[in-house]
A = this chain, B = another copy of it.
Amino acid sequence: MNILVLGSGQLARMMSLSATHLDLHVLAYDVSTKKVVNPVTGQLSEQSLSQAIASSCAITAEFEHIPHDVLEQCSLSGKFYPGAQAIATGGDRAKEKALLDKAAVKCAPYKLITEKQHFLDAVEQLALPMVVKTCQAGYDGKGQWRVKSVEDIESIWLEMAEFLSTGTTLSPHSIIAEKMIPFDREVSIIGVRDRNGQCKIYPLTENQHTDGVLTLSIAGKEKNDIQQQAEDAFNALANSLNYVGVLAIEFFDVQGELLVNEIAPRVHNSGHWTQQGCHTSQFENHMRAISGLPLGSTTLIRPTAMINVLGQQSIPSTVLTVDGVTSHWYGKTAKPGRKMGHINVSANSLHELGEKLGELAEFLPEEYYPGVLATGHQLILN
């Protein structure tokens, strides 16, 4: 069976590598070159997009900002998962908030902005400091502002107005103001829903971001009550979207209460640890779900951490001297800040995981791999 993935980056690549043993053959559509390629070898396929759509049993996407015509063509085939509505929701914060409200899932207080008065109202109602984000674009910390004091308003409004003016009638631009919540930490839940509506959910992941980009995740720390909150949110949102495939939800943990930060209608960086921490990874489960196969186990086998490799030319092979470490290289050309790969490390206990992070920190300088040593210490102390 053939699978077509829109987007040909590392997520398509890992979907392919996780699906071959199930007799699923993944091709990827590179939206920038408009070519169909093998996402592992990069080799051009002889198939056009239309041919690849026709020959696939299922189509999916590795990102939300898919050209409108491509998304429509895939949707019309009736084989596109998780579905155009889910993709549109994941790519538009205004739609995302509407979904959260509809599904009665909690998030931080927010206000939509399409003109200056809305911005001024937001400042008044949500109070400063406040985060302001573009609704229709933005990824990993881009397209967002922090309004710290009333002096910031005019200069930030100028940038916001520029973004709003670039919208069209067909796809109007909007901006969202969110109350800045003094959260304790960021966590995320990854789950999968099959064509019959059955859901399987991985354990909650604790995430560390540096300059708005994920740098480290840990799975295996969570207590039942907080896991349950996340699962309730997952079920409500996935069912509301009649979702098929892997869905990721990021939360702020505010003294034990989870508030949704954002949702991603796809496999997610904070679920990469599932490649070594679970029997069935998020990639394999996404492939299983969209192709109509039974879902695999999402139970944690061992506490596992993931360390992102950002902008580096390679992963030091010395990390492989630490027992329970697997490195994942994406085969891309290095650019500053670019996601180049990740390192998974598993252990039999959180304490042992802390020790292993400590060992890894010797090979992973703090400058490029922030938080590895500190996280290791924390896990050992707890």
Contacts and interface: CB of A to CB of B under 8 A. Distances in A.
A283 to B, nearest CB: 11
A297 B323 contact: yes
Interface stretch (A216-224, A250-258, A314-322): A314-322
A181 B294 CA distance: 45
Interface in A297-312: 297, 299, 301-302
A279 interface: yes
A288 B319 CA distance: 13
Contact of A324 (B23, B279, B346): B279
A349 interface: no
Interface centre among A294, A315, A328, by most chain B C-beta atoms within 10 angstroms, is A294
Contacts of A296: 320, 323, 325-326
Interface string A260-279: 00000000000000001001
Nearest to A321: B294
A40 interface: yes
Nearest to A284: B326
A21 B294 contact: no
A320 B297 contact: no
Contact of A43 (B22, B43, B295): B43
A23 B293 contact: no
B17 A326 contact: no
Nearest to A317: B293
A329 B302 CA distance: 27
Interface string A2-26: 0000000000000001001111000
A215 interface: no
A331 interface: yes
30 contacts: A17-B21, A20-B331, A21-B326, A21-B328, A23-B314, A23-B315, A23-B329, A23-B331, A38-B41, A41-B41, A41-B43, A43-B43, A276-B279, A279-B323, A279-B324, A280-B326, A288-B320, A293-B317, A293-B320, A294-B317, A294-B318, A294-B321, A295-B320, A296-B320, A296-B323, A296-B325, A297-B323, A297-B324, A299-B323, A301-B301
Given A20-B331, A21-B329, A293-B320, 11 more contacts: A17-B17, A22-B327, A23-B314, A23-B329, A23-B331, A41-B43, A43-B43, A279-B346, A280-B326, A294-B321, A297-B323
